[in-house]
Amino acid sequence: MKKEKYQSFGVDLSNVRNVWESKVIKYMNEVLPEFPEFDYCAICIQDVYALAMNQLTPKYVQQGTVLLKKEYVDHDFKDIIEEAVEKVLKNPNHP
């Protein structure tokens, strides 16, 4: 990713992130070991991440913005990630 693509009028926008990114990554680290058949290759890990992220309505914030706890309650991250892992296991993007 070229950094200049994430600028508008000289202002860097690459630090405006979808808040679910770090949550999904954190929960992936917990959920993936529950699946002994998961292969931990880059393609499958990226697929799980993309599938899970696509289940969540994006919420973009400037770095350092504090999210209220109630903004998280609608999402059961574990369920979303478990579903994504099951999809990838059934239909991996590689032989």
Looking only at residues 54 through 93 of this chain, which bind Zn ion when binding is defined by CB under 5 A?
A: none
**51 counts as binding Zn ion under rule CB under 5 A:** no
CB of 44 to Zn ion, least distance (A): 3
Closest contact distance (angstroms) between CB of 13 and Zn ion is 32
Q: Could you tell me if residue 10 is left (phi over 0), alpha (psi between -120 and 50 degrees) or otherwise beta?
A: left
Rounded alpha-carbon distances, angstroms, from residue 5 to 11, 58, 65: 11, 20, 23
Report the Cα 55 to chain-centroid distance in Å: 9
Q: Does 44 bind Zn ion (CB under 5 A)?
A: yes
β partners of residue 18: 60
Tokens (6 digits) for 54: 């696509």
CB of 86 to Zn ion, least distance (A): 14
Question: Should residue 48 be labelled a site residue for Zn ion when binding is judged by CB under 5 A?
Answer: no
Site residues (vs Zn ion, CB under 5 A): 39, 41, 44
